A = this chain, B = another copy of it.
Amino acid sequence: MKQNYAVCRLFVLPGLLLIGSLNLNAQEKTKFLNAAESDPIKMGWMTGAPPAKDRTVYFEDGSFFQFPALRWSAAHMRQFMPTTNVSRGLGNVNPLAKNIRKEIDQIKFIPLGETKAMTWQESLQKVYADGVIVMQHGKIVYEQYFGALKEDGQHAAMSVTKSLTGTLGIMLAKEGLIDTSKLVSHYIPELKNSAFGDATVRQVMDMTTALQFSEDYADPNAEIWKFSAAGNPLPKPKDYNGPKTYYEYLPTVKKNGVHGTAFGYKTVNSDVLGWIIARVTRKTVAEVLSEKIWRKLGTEQDAYYSVDAVGTPFAGGGFNMGLRDMARFGQLVLNNGFANGKQIIPKSAIDDIRKGGSKAAFEKANYTLLKGWSYRNMWWITHNEDGAFCARGVHGQVIYIDPKADMVIVRFSSNPVASNSANDPYSLPAYHALAKFLMANK
């Protein structure tokens, strides 16, 4: 796989997970330990009293997030940073029925750009999966845990977080609390003089804002570094005089171009939407997610967000949850917002996601593996024959929903390569093969 185009990547600075663009050639040339070799439990990261020096990693220098330590850290993010709880409440768990199909492991597919078939089981090693659940007709048909993730643990969802933010946004729109045709500055006057001032909420939700937001890591003046520094919950250096929180940073984002014409995958859009959600509800995004979804869904675990120095949840990438709860959420979306005996999300909100965004705008972003896709309410819409759509996070996090196959795939991973371009060749055709198998074996 040789890819020269800019791809989505999660970049970690002390205290902040950032999604940017990066030419991954350098990373792709690196030879990484494979999944078995990098097994975080066998490697013994952060284990022992005290842990061994060469198995100890830290937040402040970013070592916690460097592969292969990443394989441990992705399932223990709260140990490195302050977080805020997303309570499931104290109600009953909505159990997930099981109908395990062991044949799934042997399903074969041909990875994109390759010629030799690979099994589903092999693909999970290839993408460094930490946990995978497949649901068909609302039942678990496949469930596996690897690495440091346990069924009662939580894992970083990375940019899957954005799709939760977007889902809350469209829910509030359907409830009448947010008018997506209004300008962002209508809700957040603080953003009036920023790039977002004359963008509509809809443009933010579909990431068609035109932002001067460089993610060129080679450039010390790139905006990404300032965003990163602002959201870092660690004490600021004495000589630091930049923005100190997400909400101080966002008003500094400048416009570059015309809103509404091209898809541009920039994390700051999700944080602006998070700000709007917080403003109209007078609650944090964490509280809103808890009240509107987590408490109603019969989740089995609390979830959490990383926060900045003033407790603002990172709506662009800071969410962590249990694997089965991610499956519950995916199933909820597949079921048009109905789960646990309740209409939790209005069907009209799910319809709005599934209809997708502008394919023309999306095409301008030049994702060669995602031809014909679009982006809507912070979900990725494939527009394939099954009407599949997904939430995607770097290092291999995914919620993949295939309505025709009545299938949901959720996966946590800790792939050494951040970009989904590393996962997609072993994932997209695998999802397709799985859907075909399940449709043929109802």
Task: Write the residues of chain A forming the contact surface with B, with a CB cutoff of 8 angstroms.
Answer: 14, 46, 48-51, 56, 58-60, 76, 78-85, 87, 89-90, 93, 151-154, 234-235, 245, 247-248, 275, 278-279, 282, 284, 300-302, 304, 307, 309-312
Q: Cβ of A307: which chain B residues have Cβ within 8 Å of it? A: 79
Which listed residue (B83, B89, B151, B235) contacts A79, Cβ 8 A?
B83
Report the Cα distance A425→B307, complex, angstroms. 40
Whether A46 contacts B311 by the Cβ 8 Å rule is yes
Query: Which of B46, B87, B310, B312 lies in contact with A152, CB distance below 8 A?
Result: B87
Q: With both chains docked as a complex, state the minimum distance between the C-beta of A170 and any C-beta of chain B, in angstroms.
A: 19
Beta-carbon contact of B234 and A56 below 8 Å: no
- Please determine whether B310 and A89 come into contact, CB atoms closer than 8 angstroms: no
A60 nearest CB neighbor, chain B only: B235
A271 to chain B, nearest CB (A): 11
Shortest A69–chain B CB gap in Å is: 12
Contact: B78 with A278, CB < 8 Å?
no
The answer on a CB contact under 8 Å between B51 and A310 is yes
Looking at the assembled complex, report how far the CB atom of A363 sits from the nearest CB atom of chain B, in whole angstroms. 35
Q: Taking the nearest CB of chain B, how far is it from the CB of A115, in angstroms?
A: 43
* Highest count of chain B CB atoms <10 Å: which of A14, A76, A248: A76
Residues of B within 8 A of A245 (CB): 50
The distance in angstroms between the C-alpha atoms of A48 and B281, with both chains bound, is: 10
Whether A309 pairs with B58 at a CB distance below 8 angstroms is yes
24 contacts between A and B (CB under 8 A): A49-B275, A49-B279, A49-B284, A49-B312, A50-B245, A50-B310, A51-B310, A51-B311, A56-B310, A58-B235, A60-B235, A76-B311, A78-B83, A79-B82, A79-B84, A79-B311, A80-B82, A83-B83, A87-B152, A87-B153, A90-B151, A90-B301, A234-B235, A301-B302
